[in-house]
Amino acid sequence: MVIKTEEELQGMKRVSEAVALTLQKMTAYTQIGMSTKDIDEYGRQLLGALGAKSAPYETYGFPGYSCISVNKEFAHGVPSDKVRLKNGDIINIDVSAELAGFWSDNGCSFVVGEDIQGVQHLVDTSKEILLEAIAHISGGVKIADIGNLIETKAKKAGYIVIRDLGGHGVGRSLHEEPSGIMNYYDRHDKFRRFRKDSVVAIETFISTKSAFIETAADGWAFSGSKGGFVAQHEHTILVTSSKPIILTAANGITT
């Protein structure tokens, strides 16, 4: 959406703070031995207390209130009481919600316990690239140039990017234009630019082996088509004429 009034700005700030605080508290709550269903239930309670409604549950009939993915499944994972966290697991929690007609989205990957799978560098790289990409966004910047930055930084760090997932506009619904804010340089995307006062969700998908996704038998969870691990980090931001405003800064990804 494009912010046109102070009321719209305050609405986006409220819902973004709700999803950000929920994600931050869910991350802090996560412990070895918990099931992903336990974590999701905690997130449901947090969103409810803030007056927010889960976006995937309300919009897509998703069988959970947040997407929680573990190890080789890196996105859209269905919370389950059968998936219990072990020392060294890499987990991704993605929280999106609606509040008073406004929508916001954020997510992060992190390691539970000790880094026995050697993925902390991947996680750190994903976070660092997200923050650098956001720092380069302002009104008039080409969308493809941000994809080029993400891809270039990932390759320099020894990784590749997932090419069929990306960021998106958000605000009055969960997914809006501009769609397909990709993690790579799309030479065909010559004209699209970020618009001042627009709200977008910027997210990284940094991978050790796979460039494309594979959908699980449950029809929801994504893993890499060639295996490996993927780290994702996501902020909802307000594009300005200079430095963007990170609306979901309370999730802690910026620190």
Nearest Cα neighbor of 159 from 150, 147, 168 is 150
Is 233 a known ligand-binding residue?
A: no
Per-residue confidence (pLDDT) for residue 48, from 0 to 100: 98
Per-residue confidence (pLDDT) for residue 102, from 0 to 100: 98
Per-residue confidence (pLDDT) for residue 2, from 0 to 100: 98
Q: Along the chain (255 residues), what's the average pLDDT of each consecutive run of 10 residues?
A: 98 98 98 98 98 96 98 98 98 98 98 98 98 98 98 98 98 97 96 98 98 97 98 98 97 84
Per-residue confidence (pLDDT) for residue 89, from 0 to 100: 98
Is 189 a known ligand-binding residue?
A: no
Per-residue confidence (pLDDT) for residue 255, from 0 to 100: 64
Whether residue 134 contacts residue 233, with contact meaning beta carbons closer than 8 Å, is answered with no
Is 188 a known ligand-binding residue?
A: no
Is 76 a known ligand-binding residue?
A: yes
Torsion of CA 128, 251, 63, 213, to 10 degrees: -10
Distance CA 206, CA 127 (A): 9
CATH fold of 6-251 reads Creatine Amidinohydrolase (3.90.230)
Give 69-122 pLDDT, tens digit per residue: 999 999 999 999 999 999 999 999 999 999 999 999 999 999 999 999 999 999
Nearest Cα neighbor of 232 from 187, 255, 201 is 201
Is 94 a known ligand-binding residue?
A: yes
Per-residue confidence (pLDDT) for residue 254, from 0 to 100: 78
Distance CA 20, CA 246 (A): 11
Whether residue 97 contacts residue 54, with contact meaning beta carbons closer than 8 Å, is answered with yes
Beta bridge partners of 71: none
Per-residue b/e over 177-200, b at no fewer than 16 CB within 10 Å? ebebbbbbebeebeeeebbeebbb
The alpha-helical segments, DSSP class H, found in the chain are 6-29, 36-49, 55-60, 120-135, 143-156
